[in-house]
Structure 1
Amino acid sequence: MSNKFTRYILFAMALGIVMGAAIYEYWPDTRAELASSINLIAMLFLRLIKMIIAPLVFATLVGGIAHMGSGAKLGRIFAKTMGWFVTASFVSLLLGLVMVNILKPGANFPGTLPAATQSTGLPVSAFSLEKFLTHLIPTSIADAMAQNEILQIVIFSVFFSVAMGAMPERSKQMLSLIDDLAHIMLKVTSYVMLFAPLAVWAAVTATVAKNGLGVLWKLVVFMGGFYLSLLILWAILIVVGFVAIGPRYAHLLRLIREPLMIAFSTASSEAAYPKTLEGLNRFGASSRISSFVLPLGYSFNLDGTMMYCTFASIFIAQSYHIEMPLGTQFAMLATLMITSKGVAGVPRASLVVIASTLSQFNIPEAGLLMIMGIDTFLDMGRSATNVIGNSLATAVVAKWEGELAPEHELRPDDVVPPSAIPGEPVPA
């Protein structure tokens, strides 16, 4: 990983804060228009990311599974992966629940509460098992790719690669073509990521210019409590990483600095996907594992989002002085365990999930209006946490499967092709 690129990202974030604050302070009449114009750069970058996500996930996942061999191995890896995801989701939700009850950020909310009947404009609908299951299966793989429905792409890719494994002779040319596609998409990714510092500057500048830094003070107790909880979650993830992987986990943390900063500054886990995949493969995680576990994690292992769901839901209940017995809170936790899955890619996905959950527990959905103004600042922390959680899950599953190569014995087929990364030397 290039230290120069890391410095560019940090400089872009700092410059964005300064310029955004200046626009907010000195151009109050035009700041909304300026923020919108500057944000166009960040939006174009995110569209470039969305452009490459579907073919990148498909090519790397199909290639990884096809090289995996037996279907039994695929089943075993899937079981281990989902076991980790469920455990991590439960811990994240529980931590949010514990922290919001300890800190009680909504108990003495100083602002004016929105009217309970006020609408948020979010697409809220009651959760049902039917909706969840039908969302899993794409009606058309073309539509799933067009909508960047990662979970649906994963489902199709699994069927496609298993079918290829059942027809090894006929699949040789197809597998070679897909491997070539993966290499090409990694090269395209390297081009797209060159624009990351510019996009980071635009995203931070636009956010600060539109909202100002002063908006944070209105909910400083809520934000402070949430970020404190995120730090505790990070500490837990890092400790688990060192226990499960050993001292070399520190190297993985260094390798994912760039995707962490990209996710934080753009408030998008998706924007960090290519760099996270690259970092994991450089760490020694087999591409067979990383290309399978990481896409699944984007639907089933959003640790930062999980914690936010319980933290924000109980905060709103506290603000409206609604009593939430412990049993009811655990019922909410169980509900969120299910309703939060498979919503990656939905705009403001966490807010949609929370709004749906609030309505089921007779908590005013309008309470979300209090935090929607600072949601971008909160999403920065959530997105970065999702990256560290998914990278840890991938590395641990790789180690469990014996697919985590020692750093001095990285296999050529298990790292990102050097030809796809500008300026990187070919590893020995």
Structure 2
Amino acid sequence: MATTTVATAAPASAGKPWYKILYVQVLIAIVLGALVGAFWPSLATNEWIKALGDGFIKLIKMVIAPIIFCTVVSGIAHIQDAKKVGRIGFKALVYFEVVSTFALVLGLLVGNLVRPGAGFGNAAANAQAVAGYAKQAEAQKSVDFVLHIIPDTVVGAFAQGEILQVLLFSVLFGFALMGLGERGHTIRSFIDDAAHAVFGVISIVMRAAPIGAFGAMAFTIGKFGTGAILNLMGLIATFYLTAALFVFVVLGFIARTAGFSIFKFLAYIKDELLIVLGTSSSESALPSLMEKLERLGCSKSVVGLVVPTGYSFNLDGTNIYMTLATLFIAQALGFDLSFGQQLTILIVAMLTSKGASGITGAGFITLAATLAVVDPRLVPGMAIVLGIDKFMSECRALTNLCGNGVACVIVAWWEGELDRDKLNANLARQIDPTDLETALTTD
């Protein structure tokens, strides 16, 4: 397994021209995209501008399945004790459920205190606009979700990019490879080398991140307009503030318990945060996040199991969104939800959020599933938030990314698989976290 030599010099990025730093390029691209969308909306909504953002996300999605397969298989195959895999998975799921509950409760508390939907005018719902999401939500039953984890064919799981299906096969393949012992050495070495090659592809693709962020932001502003969110600014502001409260207070307390600063951690993954901000999808930053977490000192086995699992089971931003949006719709339509109904929101949202991935709009689909169970009369009210969902998807994805990154470090610390020297050196910015090639060439 490749390791990274910890430098003691000043940050490597300090000697790099500012215009060559990835997060600076992405930030400039987001600003330029917003300006183009605001002042030249006809240009911004051109299909070729939209294709810039869509194309970048497709490039990332192209390598997600191979990255997860190689990382999970390699992580499990190098573990001598099969019980350790189950122990890591159990700890991860316990952590996910506890923190997700905090996110849901926080959303309910803020929604009841602020009441952003109270006094909302013109709450007539557009049933046709919501019909597509509601139809997708009907299929999100617990039994269907569990059965969907099992792929019809292994090739189909990879071809369709079904993360949980790929994860299931990867875990099984990893255990099988572990059972081969020394006979599996050649295959293990091949998969390790393949993982380095795929991360090399990621380092190439990431250079196009500014272009993708520009296209996605320009199209969003050009299509929806800067004034499209004014009437619902209260809900957006409440959601962003609640998410910030969760990240800095809840995750900050958890991080401090493990001995690191949430602020330094966010600075370490700032490239990924800006990419998510531009593309509205945590999926676009998943591969590079896994690479950075391993370089941060988390063991390969923990990264390979926790991050892909958290991608579907630890969506803190989506949880906050569902509780706040449900309360907002109920308040806007004049429904007073009882304590029992709000408790139902907690239980149902805990289940429906498990089917939401990092793809833009998935949170809206799970919202439909939650509303249908809490009170079917609330479903048409989804049209109220349909127009601003795009502006809240960025915050959902950002919070999800932060939550999964912290979860990986916590589980690694809990399992005793966290390299403190690497953690401190990276968070102190003694090495350049944007230089992915360095990790690929150091042994």
TM norm structure 1: 0.91
Letter paired with 1:373: G
Shift of 1:39: 1.1
Equivalent of residue 279 in structure 1, options 284, 292, 297 = 292
Query: What residue is the counterpart of 1:22 in the other structure?
Result: 39
1:391 aligns with 2:413: no
Match of 2:83 among 64, 67, 72: 72
Counterpart-to-counterpart distance in 2, 1:365 and 1:45: 33
Counterpart Cα distance in 2 of 1:409 and 1:256: 13
1:42 to 47, 53, 66: 53
Task: Determine whether 1:366 maps to 2:377.
Answer: no
Q: Which moved more, 1:251-260 or 1:173-182?
A: 251-260
Give the residue type in structure 1 aligned to 2:28: F
Between the aligned partners of 2:423 and 2:25, the Cα distance in structure 1 is 31
Further displaced range: 51-60 or 366-375? 366-375
Equivalent position of 1:421 in the other structure: 436
C-alpha deviations, 1:333-363, integer Å up to 9, x for none? 1011112213316662111111122122223
CA shift, 1:127, in A, is 4.4
CA 1:103/1:116 → structure 2, altered by over 3 Å: closer, same or farther? farther
Cα distance, 1:379 vs. partner? 0.5
Name the structure 1 match of 2:430: none
More displaced stretch, 351-360 vs 39-48: 351-360
Correspondence list, 1:198-277, <5 A: 198-247=211-260, 250-277=263-290
Number of the residue aligned with 1:134? 147
- Answering whether residue 372 of structure 2 is matched by residue 355 of structure 1, we say no
Q: 8 Å contact 2:140–2:355 — kept in the other structure?
A: no
Partner of 1:294: 307
Distance of 1:59 and 1:90 partners within structure 2: 31
CA distance in 1, matches of 2:359, 2:279: 16
The DSSP-based 3-state class of the residue aligned with 1:219 is helix
Q: What's the offset of the Cα at 1:152?
A: 1.3
Cα distance in 1 between the residues matched to 2:74 and 2:242: 38
Conserved in 2, the CA contact under 8 Å of 1:31 and 1:210?
no
Instruction: Spell out the pairing of 1:302-381 with structure 2 (5 A cutoff).
Output: 302-344=315-357, 348-360=361-373, 361-381=375-395
1:152-175 CA-to-partner distances (Å, cap 9, x unmatched) read 111111111111111113211111
Does residue 102 (structure 1) correspond to residue 113 (structure 2)? The answer is yes
Q: Which range moves more in the overlay, 116-125 or 325-334?
A: 116-125
Unaligned 5+ segments in structure 1 are: 25-29, 412-417
Whether contact under 8 Å (2:37, 2:44) holds in the other structure is no
Q: Does 1:186 align with 2:199?
A: yes
Among candidates 6, 10, 27, match of residue 10 of structure 1? 27
Task: Give 2:72's aligned residue.
Answer: 61
- Deviation string 1:29-66 (CA, Å, 9 cap, x unpaired) is x35742x3311111011110110000011001110111
Q: For 1:304 and 1:285, how far apart are their aligned partners in 2?
A: 23
Residue number in structure 2 paired with 1:414: none
Pair 1:309–1:10, CA change in 2 (3 A): same
Distance 1:126 1:271 in 2: 26
Whole-Å separation in 2 of the counterparts to 1:405 and 1:327: 45
Q: Cα 1:115–1:16, aligned 2, differ >3 Å: closer, same or farther?
A: closer
What displacement does 1:323 show?
1.9
2:148 maps to a residue whose letter is H
| 2:45–2:222 CA contact under 8 A, matched in 1 | no
Question: Offset of 1:300 from its aligned partner?
Answer: 0.3
How many residue pairs get aligned? The number is 417
The CA deviation at 1:286 is 1.3
2:421 maps to 1:407: yes
Partner-residue secondary structure (3-state), 2:354: coil
Runs (4+) off by over 4 Å: 115-119, 408-411, 423-428
Give identity over the alignment, percent. Answer: 36
Following superposition, the deviation at residue 70 of structure 1 comes to: 0.9
Cα contact 1:58–1:153 (8 A) shared by 2 = yes
Q: Following the alignment from structure 1 to structure 2, what is the Cα–Cα distance between the partners of residues 410 and 227?
A: 29
CA contact (8 A) 1:259 1:275 kept: yes
Higher helix share: 2
Change over 3 Å in CA distance of 1:54–1:116 after alignment to 2: closer
Segments of 5+ residues of structure 2 without an aligned counterpart are 1-11, 426-432
Secondary structure in structure 2 of the residue aligned to 1:121: helix
1:382-417 deviations in Å (ceiling 9; x for gaps):
111111100000001111111111225999xxxxxx
Preserved contact between residue 289 and residue 397 of structure 1 (Cα < 8 Å): yes
Q: 1:409 to 1:20 in 2, by over 3 A?
A: closer
Q: How far is 1:132 from its partner?
A: 2.1
Q: Which residue of structure 2 lines up, in the alignment, with residue 175 of structure 1?
A: 188
8 Å CA contact 2:295–2:422 kept in 1: the answer is: no
Deviations along 1:243-286, one digit per CA (max 9) or x if unpaired, are 23214555432221111111122100000112211221221111
Q: In terms of mean alpha carbon deviation, does 182-191 or 136-145 score higher?
A: 136-145
- C-alpha deviations, 1:162-219, integer Å up to 9, x for none? 1111111321111111111101100011011010011111111111111111111021
- Cα deviation for residue 6 of structure 1 reads 1.4
| Residue matched to 1:111 | 122
